[in-house]
Chain A
Amino acid sequence: MNKTWNNKAWFMVLPVLALVAFSAVIPLMTVVNYSVQDTFGNNVFFWAGTEWFQEILDSDRFWAAMGRNLAFSAIILCIEVSLGIFIALNMPRKGWGVPVCLVLMALPLLIPFNVVGTIWQVFGRIDIGLLGRTLAELGIAYNYVNNPVHAWVTIILMDVWHWTSLVVLLCYAGLVSIPDAYYQAAKIDGASRWAVFRYIQLPKMHRVLLIAILLRFMDSFMIYTEPFVLTGGGPGNTTTFMSIDLVKLAIGEFNLGEAAAMSIVYFLIILLMSWVFYTVMTNYGTEKR
């Protein structure tokens, strides 16, 4: 096939380039700028090289925060993906139940992040919260404010409540696109319920599931607002995720160089992880072609 090359086309891309430069590249470069310099005020900067990066990578605080992030992402991915698939499989395919389910599913997604945090903060309070009070009445010493395990459970519950719907909706979209003939053929072939899931439904959901996992991974790895509102990173530092730590570092301690270096490392990790996920999942099942 002969491709026509027209270099004038590059001019068409210019407006987008300019926009992206102002909205992303230039701000990012300021961060890069901070990460390699040091200042003692008065807008006087000194070249610091890779010092900030070394400091970040050597600090236990950074690795602890990252560990919490990874653990959090892993837990919520496991729960949300399996629960999402399960709910999608059991949602009605036709009739009046469809719009009802879809609207119910979409509701949590429409609530602003800080409101979600506030809802759960109130919900979990042992004096007035529905959950906290109920558990207390049942004799369970639940307190997310001073018990790290309870804080984690609450944050995970909150995230599952907030985001499982996304996985459900994506999976549901994949499921309804399967023609009836597949289920009929499976019946003829005597396939078990598991075989239908494994060989018909899962392969058809594969692409949307990839998108769901990517989105949920990136989102959960960047989580900030909800734990910030719910626990503020506590008790202690037990729910201090990287984003919360970053804000503490940059705004709380005004440690711009270190915060900038951390931002870049953080960004690169997300980029790398997303790339790995994407490559693995797009190649899955096609290597034997």
Chain B
Amino acid sequence: MARINLKDIRHAYVDSPVSDDDYALKRVDHVFEDGGAYALLGPSGCGKTTLLNIISGLLHPSEGEIHFGAANVTDLPTEARNIAQVFQFPVVYDTMTVYDNLAFPLRNRGVPEDVVDRRVREIIAMIGLQDRAGRKAQGLTADEKQKISLGRGLARADVNAILFDEPLTVIDPHMKWALRTQLKELHRRFGHTMVYVTHDQTEALTFADTVVVMYEGEIVQIGTPEELFERPRHTFVGYFIGSPGMNLLSAAMDGGMVRVGGQSFALPGVPQRLSAERIELGIRPEFVRLGREGMPISIAKVEDIGRKKIVHADLEGEAIAVVIDEDAEVPAEPCVAFDPAHLNLYADSWRVETEGRS
């Protein structure tokens, strides 16, 4: 087990990158602490898998260094890094039995057969394939195969880190939840450093203590699930985390006030001037109050999503979403008011850190 230190990692898939756009990973400088459970969250194509493959050594970064603990492993091949990785789509060795599949990474490293047996039995019970142990992996269903892939990733007890690359994509929803819980449990028991790549915020938020949000080849925010929800550092995080995402209203600075359309808000600690091309005010739909007071809106559509309702409306020419309780009334002349404690101000997509509010 080790602390994984990424030092100024950049990666480009083209041979001679010129501009920033040529890099799949623009610049990543980050430390995965030993024993942490991390989620790498971001949309497809944001560089999550690239970063993961660089950690495991399947890719050599164009620039930068990777350290495991004190050792520089940048030039070490995958086999020498002692890393486990589970891929998005099932990889099983067709001609081997389920048991042999799970034993494979252990036997390759010359682990004594009695240890292999103990370990494999444990893993097989965990992924719930005891009755399949002696069968060839070939005829299994996709989610059984993925469980084998997952199990192979967990088989070795002494790995530096376990990397998961969207491992539950092909698994049934109810099974997903069970497996994720098992992974968390496993993390608690053995304390491996785990990095879990996903584009599903629920998966990320339930699995990880620390979520690393990536966007267009950069890490835009690192934080606990609460921090990501309440104080998104970048408008992308606001939009990506939460359902529906954060409302973003284009705003202008007016003295110490923030103006949206004809309305002004006082934000304590906001600088008098912001040298930014685009200023936006962000508020989560959960913190917008719908009632008879405040700014008038015109409602476009009300969506019922079970215990809550989402009201899509128009405020001063901008789209705004409001979350209300299922049984809440929508007034005839609806107005919205914002909870000032949950307002975030963005200058050129990055959050303006104001005094007194971190």
Contact = CB atoms under 8 A, between A and B. Distances in A.
Interface of A: 179, 181-182, 184-185, 187-192, 195, 199-200, 202-203, 285-286, 288-289
Interface of B: 53, 56-58, 77-79, 83-85, 87-89, 91, 93-97, 104-105, 108-109, 134-136, 138-139, 149, 152-153
A199 B103 CA distance: 13
A187 B94 contact: no
B91 A182 contact: yes
B149 A190 contact: no
Contact of B105 (A181, A189, A286, A289): A189
A288 B135 contact: yes
A20 to B, nearest CB: 36
Contacts of B105: 188-190
Nearest to B88: A181
Contacts of A289: 135-136, 138-139
Given A181-B91, A195-B104, 7 more contacts: A187-B57, A187-B79, A188-B153, A189-B104, A189-B152, A195-B108, A286-B136
Nearest to A284: B95
B135 A203 contact: no
A184 B93 contact: no
B136 A285 contact: yes
Nearest to B59: A184
B104 A184 contact: no
B87 A187 contact: no
A185 B108 contact: no
Q: Chain A's interface: helix, strand, loop or mixed, by majority?
A: helix
Given A184-B58, A288-B136, A191 B95 contact: no
Nearest to B57: A187
A118 to B, nearest CB: 44
B95 A285 contact: yes
Nearest to B58: A184
Given A285-B136, A288-B136, A190 B87 contact: no
A288 B94 CA distance: 12
A189 B77 CA distance: 12
29 contacts: A179-B89, A184-B53, A184-B78, A184-B85, A184-B87, A184-B91, A185-B85, A185-B152, A187-B77, A187-B78, A187-B79, A188-B56, A188-B84, A188-B105, A188-B153, A189-B152, A191-B104, A191-B108, A195-B108, A199-B93, A199-B104, A203-B93, A285-B95, A286-B136, A288-B97, A288-B136, A289-B136, A289-B138, A289-B139
Contacts of B135: 288-289
A203 B108 contact: no
Given A181-B89, A184-B58, A190 B79 contact: yes
B87 A181 contact: yes
Given A288-B135, A288-B136, A289-B139, A188 B94 contact: no
Given A190-B105, A190-B109, A203 B84 contact: no
A199 B56 CA distance: 22
B146 to A, nearest CB: 12
B207 to A, nearest CB: 20
B349 to A, nearest CB: 35
A288 B97 CA distance: 9
A179 B214 CA distance: 26
Contacts of B104: 189, 191, 195, 199
A189 B108 CA distance: 7
Contacts of B88: 181
B136 A190 contact: no
B150 to A, nearest CB: 12
A121 B104 CA distance: 52
A179 B87 CA distance: 12
